[in-house]
Structure 1
Amino acid sequence: MPHRVDEGLVNTLKRVAAVLKQSEIPFALGGSFAVYAHGGHSSDHDVDFVIREQDRGRALEELSSAGFEVEQPPEDWLVKVFDEGRMVDLIYRPVDLPVTDETLRDTSMLSVEAINMPVLSATQLMVHKLLSYSQHHCDFATGLPVARSLREQIDWDRVRKETEKSPYAEAFLILLDRLDVVPDPESARLTVGG
């Protein structure tokens, strides 16, 4: 793995994953730790799991029984649990898209700090990152390390298709082309033969 991670957060991640697995609640690791699990560069220090909305109540019950503090924030797309002050987001509607069985199939079973768990695909992580950009939050510095470190694992055609309605995603993909991180297929076609 490319760099050191916060041991407390890793232990919390492992505890949450173990409870979800034992309870047979479908889930996948997302966010910065999913990038890390794929061998990529992860810059922030939080734990995100994705679950289906219909599993939210049972997940909170099981995690509460296991000693986690539970919080239902005002946002209507996630719930939070805490382990000695360390926060874990259980996200059931990332970027306004519900987590479905199909979402949870678009994963790789990876060993994350010695626990096998489903991890969102690098392609889906990039789609989520690009669709999170808006006029209120558009920090491309958070996406560049992900794109650079996972570029060979990402289906860029699928990323372009699934983010085509976002002008922020389009701008980010143009930036990747200009920086020679990922060539834009359009610019490649324009330069052939001339």
Structure 2
Amino acid sequence: MPNSVSAELLVTMKRAATVLKEHQVPFALAGGFAVYARGGSGSEHDVDFLIRREDADKALKLLAAAGFSTERPPEDWLVKVYDQHRLVDLIFEPVGLPVTDATLADTTLMRVEAIEMPVLSATTLMSYKLLSFTEQYCDYTRALPLARSLREQIDWERVRADTKPSPYARSFLFLLEQLDVLPHRRHGEQE
């Protein structure tokens, strides 16, 4: 992998993924570690897995039995587990959209640090990043490295369609055109 991430978080990612795989809990590696797995900039903060809401209780019980401590935070879109101080988010409603079988199918089976696991598509990673932008949070400095490092893996037309309601996403896509990360759209070309 070209970009470094915390060795401790890699161990935590592998431990959690192994538990979920062994017990056939459907999941997908997401967030910064999915970007890392696809060759982009890594994550030093936490590990993110997408799971379905109906699998959250089972995942918490299994991970607790494997030695993780668990937390049900006030946010109603995820649960958390800790491997000592290292955080794993189990997200079942990223950016207000429920994780479905279709979401979990939008993955590639990849070997990540010697463990084979489903990794969320670069297209969905980019769409989720853009859909996370709001008036309170609009940090293009986190989205730009993702767009640049994974641009060949991203279906940009799908990203445009998935994020069309967001003025922040449209602005970011325009910025990518101005920076020559994306080809410029001609006047009158469909959005």
How far apart are residue 43 of structure 1 and its match? Answer: 5.1
How far apart are residue 133 of structure 1 and its match? Answer: 0.5
- TM-score of the pair, normalised by structure 1: 0.95
Equivalent residue, structure 2, for 1:84: 84
Equivalent residue, structure 2, for 1:112: 112
Whether 2:185 is the aligned partner of 1:185: answer yes
Q: How many percent identity over aligned positions? A: 59
Provide the C-alpha distance between the structure 1 equivalents of 2:80 and 2:160, rounded to a whole number of angstroms. Answer: 31
Whether 2:144 is the aligned partner of 1:144: answer yes
Whether 2:16 is the aligned partner of 1:16: answer yes
Which residue identity does 1:179 align to in structure 2? L
The answer to whether the Cα contact below 8 Å between 1:43 and 1:142 also exists between their aligned partners in 2 is no
Residue 90 of structure 2 aligns to a residue whose secondary structure is strand
Which residue identity does 1:162 align to in structure 2? D
User: Which digits, 9 at most, give the CA deviation of each residue in 1:65-123, with x for residues without a partner?
Assistant: 11100000000000000001100000000000000000000000011100000000000
User: Which digits, 9 at most, give the CA deviation of each residue in 1:111-143, with x for residues without a partner?
Assistant: 110000000000000000000010110000000
5+ residue gaps, structure 1, are 190-194
Provide the C-alpha distance between the structure 2 equivalents of 1:94 and 1:104, rounded to a whole number of angstroms. Answer: 13
How far apart are residue 42 of structure 1 and its match? Answer: 2.9
Residue 44 and residue 182 in structure 1: after superposition, are their counterparts in 2 closer, same or farther (change >3 A)? farther
User: Which digits, 9 at most, give the CA deviation of each residue in 1:126-164, with x for residues without a partner?
Assistant: 000000010110000000000000000000000000000
- TM-score of the pair, normalised by structure 2: 0.96
Residue 174 of structure 1 aligns to a residue whose secondary structure is helix
Residues matched between the structures, number: 190
Which residue identity does 1:134 align to in structure 2? T
Equivalent residue, structure 2, for 1:129: 129
Provide the C-alpha distance between the structure 2 equivalents of 1:188 and 1:85, rounded to a whole number of angstroms. Answer: 52
5+ residue gaps, structure 2, are none
Whether 2:11 is the aligned partner of 1:29: answer no
